Amino acid sequence: AQTVTQSQPEMSVQEAETVTLSCTYDTSESDYYLFWYKQPPSRQMILVIRQEAYKQQNATENRFSVNFQKAAKSFSLKISDSQLGDTAMYFCAFMKHGNFNKFYFGSGTKLNVKP
Protein backbone atom coordinates (compact mmCIF):
# COMPACT_ATOMS: atom_id res chain seq x y z
CA ALA A 1 0.00 0.00 0.00
CA GLN A 2 1.04 3.55 -0.61
CA THR A 3 1.07 6.22 2.08
CA VAL A 4 1.79 9.93 1.83
CA THR A 5 2.76 11.97 4.87
CA GLN A 6 2.77 15.72 5.27
CA SER A 7 4.18 16.49 8.69
CA GLN A 8 3.45 20.23 8.72
CA PRO A 9 -0.26 20.89 9.33
CA GLU A 10 0.20 24.64 9.07
CA MET A 11 2.91 27.07 8.02
CA SER A 12 3.29 30.81 7.67
CA VAL A 13 5.55 32.87 5.47
CA GLN A 14 6.01 36.56 4.83
CA GLU A 15 5.16 37.89 1.42
CA ALA A 16 8.17 37.74 -0.96
CA GLU A 17 9.95 35.15 1.12
CA THR A 18 10.60 31.49 0.33
CA VAL A 19 8.90 28.56 2.01
CA THR A 20 9.34 24.80 1.71
CA LEU A 21 6.55 22.31 2.32
CA SER A 22 7.53 18.74 3.17
CA CYS A 23 6.15 15.48 1.88
CA THR A 24 7.34 11.93 2.32
CA TYR A 25 5.81 8.80 0.88
CA ASP A 26 6.13 5.09 1.18
CA THR A 27 5.83 2.72 -1.73
CA SER A 28 7.32 -0.44 -3.16
CA GLU A 29 6.69 0.80 -6.69
CA SER A 30 9.63 1.91 -8.78
CA ASP A 31 7.68 3.94 -11.30
CA TYR A 32 5.19 6.51 -10.19
CA TYR A 33 4.18 10.15 -10.27
CA LEU A 34 4.12 12.74 -7.53
CA PHE A 35 2.00 15.86 -7.48
CA TRP A 36 1.38 18.98 -5.48
CA TYR A 37 -2.16 20.32 -5.56
CA LYS A 38 -3.26 23.67 -4.17
CA GLN A 39 -6.70 24.33 -2.72
CA PRO A 40 -7.41 28.03 -2.13
CA PRO A 41 -10.13 28.85 0.42
CA SER A 42 -13.54 27.78 -0.90
CA ARG A 43 -12.09 26.84 -4.27
CA GLN A 44 -11.28 23.63 -6.04
CA MET A 45 -7.94 21.88 -5.99
CA ILE A 46 -5.67 22.80 -8.85
CA LEU A 47 -2.45 21.18 -9.95
CA VAL A 48 0.69 23.08 -9.01
CA ILE A 49 3.44 20.78 -10.20
CA ARG A 50 4.11 17.19 -11.20
CA GLN A 51 7.20 14.97 -11.02
CA GLU A 52 7.79 11.69 -12.83
CA ALA A 53 9.79 9.30 -10.67
CA TYR A 54 11.97 8.20 -13.58
CA LYS A 55 13.20 11.76 -14.12
CA GLN A 56 16.18 12.83 -12.07
CA GLN A 57 15.69 16.50 -12.83
CA ASN A 58 13.49 18.33 -10.38
CA ALA A 59 10.33 19.84 -11.86
CA THR A 60 9.92 23.61 -11.92
CA GLU A 61 6.91 25.77 -12.69
CA ASN A 62 7.66 29.48 -12.39
CA ARG A 63 7.97 30.21 -8.65
CA PHE A 64 7.26 26.60 -7.70
CA SER A 65 9.90 23.91 -7.66
CA VAL A 66 10.33 20.53 -6.07
CA ASN A 67 13.16 18.71 -4.39
CA PHE A 68 12.63 15.07 -5.32
CA GLN A 69 14.80 12.61 -3.43
CA LYS A 70 13.78 9.16 -4.69
CA ALA A 71 15.98 7.14 -2.37
CA ALA A 72 14.74 9.06 0.65
CA LYS A 73 11.15 9.01 -0.70
CA SER A 74 10.90 12.71 -0.18
CA PHE A 75 9.12 15.27 -2.35
CA SER A 76 9.19 18.82 -1.00
CA LEU A 77 7.67 21.89 -2.61
CA LYS A 78 9.52 25.20 -2.60
CA ILE A 79 7.60 28.40 -3.21
CA SER A 80 9.80 31.37 -4.01
CA ASP A 81 8.75 35.01 -3.76
CA SER A 82 5.57 34.04 -1.90
CA GLN A 83 2.46 35.97 -2.84
CA LEU A 84 -0.77 36.56 -0.94
CA GLY A 85 -2.54 34.44 -3.55
CA ASP A 86 -0.43 31.46 -2.51
CA THR A 87 -2.44 31.23 0.70
CA ALA A 88 -4.09 27.83 0.42
CA MET A 89 -4.11 24.23 1.53
CA TYR A 90 -1.40 22.26 -0.24
CA PHE A 91 -1.76 18.53 -0.82
CA CYS A 92 0.97 16.15 -1.83
CA ALA A 93 -0.27 13.20 -3.89
CA PHE A 94 1.07 9.94 -5.30
CA MET A 95 -0.08 7.91 -8.28
CA LYS A 96 1.28 4.62 -9.54
CA HIS A 97 2.51 4.56 -13.11
CA GLY A 98 0.04 3.06 -15.52
CA ASN A 99 -2.76 3.41 -13.03
CA PHE A 100 -5.00 6.18 -14.27
CA ASN A 101 -7.15 5.71 -11.31
CA LYS A 102 -6.43 7.03 -7.94
CA PHE A 103 -4.39 9.49 -6.04
CA TYR A 104 -3.07 8.80 -2.59
CA PHE A 105 -3.15 12.12 -0.79
CA GLY A 106 -1.33 13.49 2.20
CA SER A 107 -3.26 15.25 4.94
CA GLY A 108 -2.36 18.69 3.65
CA THR A 109 -0.41 21.73 4.80
CA LYS A 110 -2.21 25.00 5.33
CA LEU A 111 0.01 27.83 4.10
CA ASN A 112 -0.64 31.38 5.23
CA VAL A 113 1.19 34.13 3.37
CA LYS A 114 1.34 37.27 5.49
CA PRO A 115 1.65 40.80 4.11
Partner 1 sequence: EPEVTQTPSHQVTQMGQEVILRCVPISNHLYFYWYRQILGQKVEFLVSFYNNEISEKSEIFDDQFSVERPDGSNFTLKIRSTKLEDSAMYFCASSEYHKYEQYFGPGTRLTVT
Distance in angstroms (rounded) separating the CA atoms of residues 112 and 114: 6
- Contact between 64 and partner 1 per CB under 8 A: no
- Of 95, 109, 111, 113, the residue at the interface with partner 1 (CB under 8 A) is 95
Q: How far is the CB of 47 from partner 1 (least distance, A)?
A: 5
Quick one: which of 58, 104, 110, 112 contacts partner 1 (CB under 8 A)?
Answer: 104
> In the complex, what is the shortest distance from the CB of residue 28 to partner 1, in angstroms, rounded to a whole number?
18
Buried b (16+ CB within 10 A) or exposed e, 43-70: eebeebbebebeeeeebeeeebbbebee
Residue 2 as a binder of partner 1 (CB under 8 A): the answer is no
**From the CB of 73, what's the least distance to partner 1, in Å?**
17
> Using CA atoms, how far apart are residues 35 and 94, in angstroms rounded to an integer?
6
Q: How far apart are the first and last CA of the chain?
A: 41
In contact, 76 and 23? CB cutoff 8 Å: yes
Residue nearer to partner 1 on the CB measure, 42 or 56: 42
45 binds partner 1 (CB under 8 A): yes
Amino acid at 26: D
Which positions touch partner 1 (CB under 8 A)?
4, 33, 35, 37, 42-47, 50, 91, 95, 100-108
